[in-house]
């Protein structure tokens, strides 16, 4: 092997290491974002304090899961994996699937924001929810009486899975925040919201 061959191989190996390092960084950032979404949305616990207590860490100072264990990506993965396992055991729902559904539902809320704001301003959001349930759950036909935008929304919701539909309805009713980036705070007064 001559000197040039060794140089090419070393550059190639360095590229592989950088690619692996880049993937690990991207995976860690994705895990951080999932943990932050779980925290912000209060999906597992009613307050950030409850979640921190469950994990066994102090959340004082910064609410971001990026600080859990410093820069320890392994700890972040372990925390998310354990929360995911607990959620599946207790609720029978995959946490990752729920977060993906939340992102889809938030996208639909944004896409149809003008239509939905009109429905809410008119005070008919309950009626809108009933129409969505009747069409998407009970299989009623999409009425020609509905606006083209509403028909489009109903067809889109029929294509999504049940988790996305459920999250969308809970967002529409104001139980869930309308965005994954929400800073809404602790979940309080759920009995009143439910009623």
| Banded model confidence at residue 13, pLDDT cuts 50, 70, 90 | low
Q: How far apart are CA 101 and CA 137, in angstroms?
A: 17
High-pLDDT (> 70) share of the chain, % = 71
For residue 54 the two structure tokens come to: 């469950």
pTM over 0.85: no
| Banded model confidence at residue 3, pLDDT cuts 50, 70, 90 | low
- pLDDT at site 63: 47
Average pLDDT, the chain: 77
pLDDT tens digits along 36-57: 888 888 777 777 788 888 887 6
| Residue 166 and residue 121 in contact, taking contact as beta carbons nearer than 8 Å | no
Residue 34 pLDDT greater than 50, yes or no: yes
| Residue 157 and residue 136 in contact, taking contact as beta carbons nearer than 8 Å | yes
């Amino acid at each position: 092997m001559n000197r040039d061959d060794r140089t090419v191989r070393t550059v190639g190996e360095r590229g592989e290491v950088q690619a692996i390092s880049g993937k690990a960084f991207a995976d860690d950032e994705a895990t951080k974002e999932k943990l932050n979404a779980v925290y912000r949305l209060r999906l597992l616990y009613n307050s950030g304090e409850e979640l921190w207590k469950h994990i066994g860490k102090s959340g004082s100072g910064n609410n971001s899961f990026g600080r859990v264990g410093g820069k320890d990506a392994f700890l972040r993965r372990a925390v998310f994996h354990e929360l995911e396992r607990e959620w599946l055991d207790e609720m029978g729902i995959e946490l990752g699937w729920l977060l993906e559904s939340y992102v889809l539902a938030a996208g639909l809320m944004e896409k149809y924001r003008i239509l939905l704001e009109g429905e809410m301003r008119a005070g008919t959001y309950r009626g809108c929810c009933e129409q969505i349930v009747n069409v998407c759950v009970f299989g009623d036909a999409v009425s020609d009486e509905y606006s083209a935008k509403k028909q489009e929304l109903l067809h889109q919701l029929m294509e999504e899975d049940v988790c996305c539909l459920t999250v969308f309805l809970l967002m529409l009713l104001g139980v869930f925040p309308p965005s994954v980036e929400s800073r809404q705070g602790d979940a309080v007064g759920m009995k009143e919201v439910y009623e």
